[in-house]
Amino acid sequence: MKNKHFADINFLLKLIISLMFLAGFFIFCYPFIADSINNYLAQQQIQSLDKLNNANQRKNTARLQKLFDNNKKRTAENQQLGISPIKDILGRSLKNVAAKDQSYYTKHALGSIFIPKISVSLPVFDTTSENLLEKGITLLPGSSYPVGGKGTRAVLLGHSGLPDQRLFTYLSRLKKGDKFFLEIFGKRLAYQVSEIQTILPTDLGALKIKAGQDLVTLVTCTPYMINTHRLLVTGRRVPLTKGEFDQSKKSVENFQTTRLYAFIALGISVILLFAYFLYRQLAKSRLQIRQTKEDRK
């Protein structure tokens, strides 16, 4: 009886330790798993947008022309005067953001951005709000639309350091010469990083249009988790070589898909190992009970 009692206590202790390990493992992996799932959902949104764009090419041509016209107006009026700091929304954490239905995101969707160097593939929205920043990359109100053209500078904002999404967390890894790509209403553009700056959130002078240049500036918070400054990564438009966009887009999407499947496989493996451990311990416990009974006979 005493042996059975000790065996039960031993099994219970092992079970508690194993459950603590399992819980710790999934808590540790949560940010990576959540980020993979959110990236997968972002890919689904991008694919849905691609289908809409392919089905409405005539409508997209009209949309692009409207954005080009708006850019000309902003350039002529001096874009710098129209840029809004939007109350430094990047410096705030996203907590208790009211949910929006899918139509809200579709209404504000411009297209997508791909950054092969840091495996980023995210939707791009036409304005900035807490809801939109939670789902992707947003346009700084008053800046040029990211459709190209001389005398334009689109300013795209993205959070960093969120617990469940990377977004622009690794933007600091970009170096001069790296490329990123945009697809806006079916129009594809390539930009090569030409300038990297760290500024105060109020220093909007760094976002001025430069005469004759076609620029896109990517913005996020820095230093990591401190967020006192803003990192500006500016790209100058370069020619898009044949197949370059498709190859870059595919490489990023494949990375995101492989990463998600890897985490799913890892999670299943850990659960199966835990189940096998329980099975072995139960079998061992039953064997000890059986041996105890036989010893009494």
- Residues contacting residue 18 through CB under 8 Å, at least 6 positions apart: 274, 277, 278
At residue 257, what is the residue type?
T
The residue annotated as part of the active site, out of 5, 108, 159, 229, is 159
Rounded Cα gap, residues 21 and 138, in angstroms: 39
The residue annotated as part of the active site, out of 5, 29, 108, 221, is 221
Q: What angle do CA 295, 296, 297 make, to 5 degrees?
A: 95
- Return the number of other C-beta atoms located less than 10 Å from residue 118's C-beta: 16
**Is 159 a residue of the active site?**
yes
**Is 29 a residue of the active site?**
no
- Residues contacting residue 46 through CB under 8 Å, at least 6 positions apart: 112, 121, 122, 123
Residues designated catalytic: 159, 221
